[in-house]
Amino acid sequence: MSGRPIRIANFSGYLGDRYTAIDEAVAGDPVDVLVGDYLAEITLAGLSAQYQEDPTRGYPEYFLDQLRPNLATLAQRRVKVVTNAGGFHPAALAEAVRGLAAEEGVRVNVVHIEGDNVLPRLPELAGAGHLLENLDTGRPLSSWGAAPISANAYLGGWGIAQALAEGADIVVCGRVTDASLVLGPAAWWHGWNRTDWDRLAGAVVAGHIIECGPQAVGGNFSGFTGIPGMLVPGFPIAEIAADGSSVITKHGRDGGAVTTDTVTAQLVYEIQGPRYLNPDVTVHLDDVRLSQAGPDRVQVSGAVGSPPPPTTKVAVFAQIGHTIVNTVYVTGTEVDEKVDLLRAQIGRDLPAGVDELDFTRIGVAATDPETQWDATVALRVMATARDREPLERLDLAGRLSSLYLQSIPGFFLDGAGTLAVAPKPRIDYWPALLDMAAVPHRVVLQDGRAIDIAPPEQTATVRQPVHPEPVEAPSASGVRRVPLGTVAYARSGDKGGNSNVGIWARDAAAWPWLRQALSTAELRRLLPEVKDLDVVRHEFPQLRAVHFILRGLLGTGGSSNLRVDQVGKAVGEYLRAKHVLVPEALLTSGKGSDDAH
């Protein structure tokens, strides 16, 4: 369409992201396409319950309110909008957008993508021999023992590209991959072919970097104290060239910063390893190179692509029970003994049918505390059951409220808060695999015509590379014990029941030491929670990063595990807080985290 790079700006990284983001994008620098990501695995779990209650809904309705005041301006400027806000019902959201446009007197062409919802076809697929094996365990879906309430396959970006080629102004998707929101427009703009593997890989990398909104601009970044304007960090822009390389930047008027480190943080976030699998291309992330091309401009190059795998992921959710959770507080000395007594008193005479009563102590009381709150730790109490009724008979709120005069000294509830009394559904997650040839991928135009998108003709089975463990531990001489975060940044997230964490050196001088120091054995020592888990380690020399997959840390998924940090977002910062022996030379080198790499 044009010889110049396409400028794609993100305006949402998840359901609940900053409401004013479309307003900000419209007031910001000129762009060609706005993309909004509203879906995540834990978000799908919540939307699936909403969709079950009312099949006419199942999508983030506030997207319409975000769009309303900007619709006329977007149409006038011919800025395209591509979003997965369609959730479980993209056809309904597309129709709602058309109704909104009619109310506002704006002419826009609204197209939606469908085919990802395979729930009604599960019996048919099983009959045809599709086992929908679990990504982590390899077990067939039939062994789950739970009744799915939703099943959505991850679609690629070629439906979006086709929709834009058909003149769409707004493309409403359901569960396409996050990066597809960017790959589709880039492929349309540059006229790429489906086998332009390196170009497609570059677009997926750009999409992965900007998909989470302000994270690429300094949000959720270990080095946030060095980022200006963190009160309201802006949303990122990807300028994608015809060869697939890109420049990551932001709106000039907004806060935050785009540096090689803020971009690295996104590259190592929620990945499976050096091979990043997508329905349209497999990306070799270990070839990606970053360089600081100017203030708030990071050049991303070197992405290598190869054919995608023959299967795509299907997010299957089922209700497996109910849960209720409350938090109380313990103060002062003898905290262990106090928690032990609370555990015994709360757990006394449990009603039949209560499956688990989980206690998580949060924090440590300070020695010689300066304030009362320095002497206080939280105790989070969660109960689960297959049925709602046992939790109602448990009356967790009543049990906790009754302990003031018969339990420990220094026990209290939040006087300004209220305890939860009603159990909530507990939704479990099954990440399945399904042949892409069995997944319909359809573009539905505004006039009702449908265009089928064929599955990829070329596929290849993909295996992650195996990287050897460091042979020798770093020297124990000339070192000082400091937090790992003194010399390294980190970012962590979730992939189903697995947590990933990427740790990278803040400057080039620290990379050889970091690579040698962070063995799998050392990680197990630093994080006792993973000592019995399967841990997979990879290296990214171009990014100066070591990456780990912590299999099973999150149970079977973020929506059902009992951890307080359900989706592993804080694992990276926990790791950075651990003290390790670091060479004195690295602590006195004076090198900063702003060095381009």
C-alpha distance across the termini of the chain, in Å: 32
Question: Computed over its alpha carbons, how large is the radius of gyration of the chain?
Answer: 25
**d(C-alpha 281, C-alpha 433), whole Å:** 16
Instruction: Name the residue among 442, 445, 446 with its Cα closest to residue 454.
Output: 442
| φ, ψ (nearest 5 deg) of residue 101 | -60, -40
Quick one: pLDDT at residue 589? 63
**d(C-alpha 453, C-alpha 443), whole Å:** 7
Place of tokens 């970006």: 157
10-residue averages of pLDDT along the chain (597 residues): 88 96 97 96 76 85 97 98 96 97 98 96 97 96 95 97 98 97 98 98 98 98 98 98 98 98 97 96 97 98 98 95 98 98 97 97 97 98 98 97 96 94 94 97 97 98 94 85 98 94 97 97 96 96 98 90 91 98 86 43
Q: For strand 246-250 and strand 236-240, is the pairing parallel, antiparallel, or unpaired? A: antiparallel
| φ, ψ (nearest 5 deg) of residue 519 | -85, 170
SS (H, E, C) 186-237: HHHHHCCCCCCHHHHHHHHHHHHHHCCHHHHHCCCCCCHHHCCCCCCECCEE
Which of left, alpha, beta for 214 (phi over 0: left; psi -120 to 50: alpha)?
alpha
Q: Tell me which H or E stretch contains 477.
A: none
Please give the C-alpha separations between residue 262 and each of 220, 336, 514, in angstroms, as whole numbers.
9, 40, 19
Boundaries of every domain in the chain = 6-116+154-308, 321-428, 479-587
Full strand arrangement of the beta sheet holding 498-505: 488-495, 498-505, 545-551, 534-540
Which sign, positive or negative, has the C-alpha torsion 153, 154, 156, 161? positive
Q: Give, in words, the CATH class of 321-428.
A: alpha beta
Instruction: Name the residue among 148, 153, 146 with its Cα closest to residue 114.
Output: 153
Whether the full predicted model's pTM is greater than 0.75, yes or no, is: yes
- For helices 158-165 and 180-190, the axis angle rounded to 10 degrees is 50
Quick one: pLDDT at residue 472? 82
